[in-house]
Amino acid sequence: MKIKKLTCLLIVLSILCINSTTFANYNITPNPSSQSSILMEKSTGRILYSQNPHKKLPMASTTKIMTALVALEYGNLDDIVKIHPKSVGVEGSSIYLKHNEKITLKDLLYGLMLRSGNDAATAIAYHVGSSVEGFVELMNKKAKEIGALNTHFMNPHGLHHKDHYTTAYDLALITRAAMNIDEFRKISKTKLYISNGDIKRYFYNKNKALWQFSGGDGGKTGYTKSSGRCLVSTATRNGMQLISVVLNDGNWFNDCYNLLSYGFEMYSPSIILQKNQFIKNITVINGKQNYTSVINTSDIILPLTNLEKKEIKIILDMPEKLKAPIKKGQKIGTAKIYFKGKLLCSSILYAHREVVSKTLKDKLVDFFYNIFD
């Protein structure tokens, strides 16, 4: 009887272990229901997960990430914007602008990103680009500069147009560029904003990730009947910021959370090189000093799994000797970071101290020193 009970207990424990393992793997393996998705690490642009990342799709109000990016590049936050009549009563989400109302560009940007105001997007376009068409030209120009080559904009708000589209990859690139702007980061992570104009407006952020996901610090929602639910969410943990994008996804927030959780579970920020880190001493010919130390210009921090860390290789591309004079800060070469033979990134190496050339007197002293040595 005791043997039967023990056998039954072992079987139950085995089943529990199997289920537990399956559940754990499910939690860290993204399986988004989107048409297209991507997970990108912000500082390096490394893709940690993707599903149909280059499929061209409508993106609804996630368009407004580019609208904000262009507005911040060409406009001034303190600009006073007089509302154009065509910015009033725009279809869809609205902050209810009034004709001839005066409002700062800053307030419009918060209304754009937090409340997804299509009227705010149109007002920004008229102010920055003089017209919607002029602003759209700036948007498409910026997309090319960023490398979002499978993206085309027809308007600043994201309302459906057959020639208005992007890809999950491109949208991650656009978000990455926007996140390099301090004011964009500040706006994107704001939960509540009260406008400063004559008309007080309260903007609550539609991006629930700011409340629901640990480390959530930005992004943008989007929805039209044609695009389905689209979402960009960003989060930062341990100094590593991830960008998740899902397009046409009925389970948009949960899928973004699963992508982000996968990234934080599987990858960690690994310091490969540090800013001002000593690399090596390099011989200097005809210098008052025989060598100068070479140091690194910037931090190189990569998102890597534990196994990947062992496969990172650093190749120094620099001469073995240099001829004086050497200026402090002079570029000496580059440190190239490879993973499985693929170049991930590089960093400039420079001279840590100045080395002046020997004078005639120095050379004579050396000559006599060598004779009597």
Tell me the mean pLDDT in the region 313-329.
93
Catalytic residue, candidates 42, 64, 189, 220: 64
Structure tokens at 342: 């693929």
Q: Are 204 and 95 in contact (CB under 8 A)?
A: no
Interval 113-164: pLDDT, tens: 999 999 999 999 999 999 999 999 999 999 999 999 999 999 999 999 999 9
Q: Which of 115, 114, 140 is nearest to 125 (CA)?
A: 140
Q: Which of 227, 233, 229 is nearest to 252 (CA)?
A: 229
> SS3 for 340?
coil
158-179 burial, b for 16+ CB within 10 Å, e for fewer? Answer: bbeeeebbbbbbbbbbbbbbbb
Rounded to 5°, angle at Cα 222 from 96 and 136: 75
Interval 232-282: pLDDT, tens: 999 999 989 999 999 999 999 999 999 999 999 999 999 999 999 999 999
Domain(s) of CATH 2.60.410.10: residues in the chain: 272-351
- In whole angstroms, give the CA distance from residue 35 to residue 55: 8
Catalytic residue, candidates 43, 87, 93, 116: 116
Q: What is the pLDDT of residue 340?
A: 87
> Residue 288: which pLDDT band, with cuts at 50, 70 and 90?
confident
Query: Who wins on pLDDT, 229 or 198?
Result: 229
Interval 182-217: pLDDT, tens: 999 999 999 999 998 789 999 999 999 999 999 999
Q: What is the pLDDT of residue 3?
A: 42
Q: What is the pLDDT of residue 373?
A: 59
- In whole angstroms, give the CA distance from residue 257 to residue 252: 9
Pick the CATH number of 272-351 from 3.60.20.10, 2.60.410.10, 3.40.50.300, 3.30.870.10: 2.60.410.10
> Residue 292: which pLDDT band, with cuts at 50, 70 and 90?
very high
Interval 14-37: pLDDT, tens: 333 333 222 233 346 788 999 999
Q: What is the pLDDT of residue 364?
A: 67
Q: Are 339 and 370 in contact (CB under 8 A)?
A: no
Catalytic residue, candidates 34, 36, 43, 61: 61
Q: Is 116 a catalytic residue?
A: yes
Q: Is 130 a catalytic residue?
A: no
Domain(s) of CATH 3.40.710.10: residues in the chain: 28-266
- In whole angstroms, give the CA distance from residue 26 to residue 113: 33
- In whole angstroms, give the CA distance from residue 29 to residue 203: 35
pLDDT at 293 over 70: yes
Q: Is 191 a catalytic residue?
A: no
Structure tokens at 92: 């869809």
Structure tokens at 48: 């940690």
Q: Are 64 and 121 in contact (CB under 8 A)?
A: yes
3-class secondary structure for 235-268?
EEECCEEEEEEEECCCCHHHHHHHHHHHHHHHCE
Q: What is the mean pLDDT of the chain?
A: 90
Q: What is the pLDDT of residue 77?
A: 97
- In whole angstroms, give the CA distance from residue 300 to residue 302: 6
**Which CATH architecture is the domain 28-266 placed in?**
3-Layer(aba) Sandwich (3.40)
> What Å distances lie between residue 314 and 2, 242, 272, CA to CA?
61, 25, 9
